[in-house]
């Protein structure tokens, strides 16, 4: 009898934490390369004020970037998904542009908006925009036409068709896009803070790297990892709540909602 996959995952997770603690302690890796978990946590606690301040800056940027990415993404995605003319015209253009590494635009954003929060918000907003837009378009475009015909046969007006059919039917894809877009907005903020910044948790990574203060670098990395785990868990929880109809009554409620692979993953 093999152990359940979830158990194995937990074991792997615990094992990684144990190794993080033991490998540096045993001297297998120098402290400079990998400070032990306890040391990293100690540094984090000791300098909590600094990290907390950096975290508020980062969170502020992430929230605004997510608002931009999701707002613009849903709006433009809905137009592209709903109007076949616009879709035919622009969707191929967007999928070509998707090949360009967006990170090379960041120097333009700093030149235009300065090294403060605005450039991070704008850059991360653009970063998260694409998956939200593409999956909203895909979600609306792929709605089963039968649903709309059925709604019309029952006398639904156009606004009713949109609120009662188009929105719930496209919800799974759109929410998956929002999760991805949100994650990318977070990634975008961290990347841009690491590249050029004067504040934020990504900035701490870079700042302490240059002075070779590894424990502080790893403290910042730990904060970022926890942040992205929390965001991911939150987004999945929202998806599960909103899409209960997909999984209701299925056994193994612990399993995540089926992944909607929209092909809109964006690199980081």
Partner 1 sequence: MSRSALILTRLALLAMVLAAWEWLPRWAIVNAALLPPLSDVLAMFVTILGRSQVQEAVAVTAGEVVLAFMFAVPIGACVGVLVAESEYFGQIFRPMLFYVFSIPKSIFLPMFILVFGIGFAQKVAYAAFSTVFIVIMSAAAAVGSVKADHVLVARSYGATRAQVLTRVYVPSMLPFLLETLRISMIFNLTGVMIAEMYASRSGIGQLIASWGENFQMPQLFAGVMLLAAAAIAFNETVRWLEARCSTWRT
Partner 2 sequence: MQHVANLSELRAKEVHAAAIEVAELSHVYLGRDGKVPALEDISLTVGAGRFVVIVGPSGCGKTSLLMMMAGLRRPTSGTILCAGRPIDVPDPDRVGVVFQEASLFPWLTALENIEFPLSIRHAPRLERRRRAEAMLNLVGLAGFGARYPHELSGGMKQRVSIARGLVQDPPVLLMDEPFAALDEQTRMTMGHELLRIWSQTNKTVVFVTHSLTEAVYLADEVLVMSPRPGRIIDRAEVTLPRPRTYEMMATDVFGRLRERIWQKIRKVT
Give residues in contact with partner 2 (CB under 8 A).
Answer: 144, 146-147, 149-156, 160, 164-165, 168-169, 171, 245-246, 248-249
Which residues are within 8 A (CB) of 193 and not within 5 positions of it... i.e. 6 or more apart? 58, 61, 120, 199, 200, 201, 202, 203, 205, 206
Q: Which stretch binds partner 1 (CB under 8 A): 48-56, 152-160, 178-186, 238-246?
A: 178-186
C-beta of 52 vs 149, nearer to partner 2:
149
The alpha carbons of the chain give a radius of gyration, in whole angstroms, of 22
Q: Is 89 exposed, middle or buried (0-12, 13-18, 19+ CB in 10 A)?
A: exposed
Rounded CA separation 236/130 (Å): 20
Rounded CA separation 115/199 (Å): 9
Task: Indicate which of partner 2, partner 1, none lies near residue 171 (CB less than 5 to 8 Å, by partner kind).
Answer: partner 2
Task: Indicate which of partner 2, partner 1, none lies near residue 246 (CB less than 5 to 8 Å, by partner kind).
Answer: partner 2
Q: Does 224 bind partner 1 (CB under 8 A)?
A: yes
C-beta of 99 vs 248, nearer to partner 2:
248
Q: Return the residues of window 89-108 that contact partner 1 according to CB under 8 A.
A: 89, 93, 96-108
User: Which of 74, 121, 191, 219 is in the footprint of partner 1 by CB under 8 A?
Assistant: 191
Alpha helices in 105-213 (DSSP H): 106-113, 117-141, 145-153, 158-161, 167-195, 201-210
Least distance from C-beta 73 to partner 2, angstroms?
22
Q: Among candidates 55, 20, 57, which has minimal Cα distance to 39?
A: 20
User: Which of 14, 15, 26, 229 is in the footprint of partner 1 by CB under 8 A?
Assistant: 229
Least distance from C-beta 156 to partner 2, angstroms?
5
Rounded CA separation 163/171 (Å): 11
DSSP for 58-80, please give it: HHHHHHHHHHHHHHHHHHHHHHH
Task: Indicate which of partner 1, partner 2, none lies near residue 19 (CB less than 5 to 8 Å, by partner kind).
Answer: none
C-beta of 152 vs 240, nearer to partner 1:
240
Asked if 230 contacts 222 with a C-beta cutoff of 8 angstroms, the reply is no
User: Which of 67, 221, 242, 257 is in the footprint of partner 1 by CB under 8 A?
Assistant: 221
Task: Indicate which of partner 2, partner 1, none lies near residue 164 (CB less than 5 to 8 Å, by partner kind).
Answer: partner 2
C-beta of 138 vs 191, nearer to partner 1:
191
Total residue length of the chain: 268
């Amino acid at each position: 009898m093999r152990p359940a996959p979830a158990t194995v995952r937990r074991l792997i997770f615990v094992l990684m934490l144990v190794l993080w603690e033991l490998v540096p302690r045993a001297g297998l890796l120098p402290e400079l390369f990998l400070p032990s978990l306890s040391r990293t946590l100690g540094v984090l606690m000791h300098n909590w004020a600094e990290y907390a301040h950096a975290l508020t800056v980062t969170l502020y940027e992430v929230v605004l970037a997510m608002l931009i990415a999701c707002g613009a993404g849903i709006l433009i995605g809905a137009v592209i998904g709903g109007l076949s003319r616009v879709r035919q015209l622009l969707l191929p253009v967007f999928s070509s542009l998707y090949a360009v590494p967006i990170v090379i635009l960041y120097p333009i954003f700093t030149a235009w908006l300065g090294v403060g929060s605005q450039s991070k918000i704008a850059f991360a907003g653009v970063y998260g925009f694409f998956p939200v837009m593409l999956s909203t378009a895909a979600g609306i475009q792929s709605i089963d036409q039968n649903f709309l015909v059925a709604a019309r046969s029952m006398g639904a007006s156009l606004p009713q068709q949109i609120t009662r059919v188009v929105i719930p039917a496209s919800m799974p894809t759109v929410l998956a896009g929002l999760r991805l877009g949100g994650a990318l907005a977070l990634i975008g903020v961290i990347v841009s803070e690491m590249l050029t910044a004067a504040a934020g948790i990504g900035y701490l990574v870079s700042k302490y790297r240059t002075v070779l203060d590894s424990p502080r670098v790893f403290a910042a990395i730990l904060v970022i990892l926890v942040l992205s785990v929390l965001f991911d868990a939150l987004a999945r929880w929202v998806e599960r709540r909103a899409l209960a109809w997909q999984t209701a009554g299925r056994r193994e409620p612990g399993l995540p909602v089926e992944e909607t692979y929209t092909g809109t993953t964006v690199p980081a």
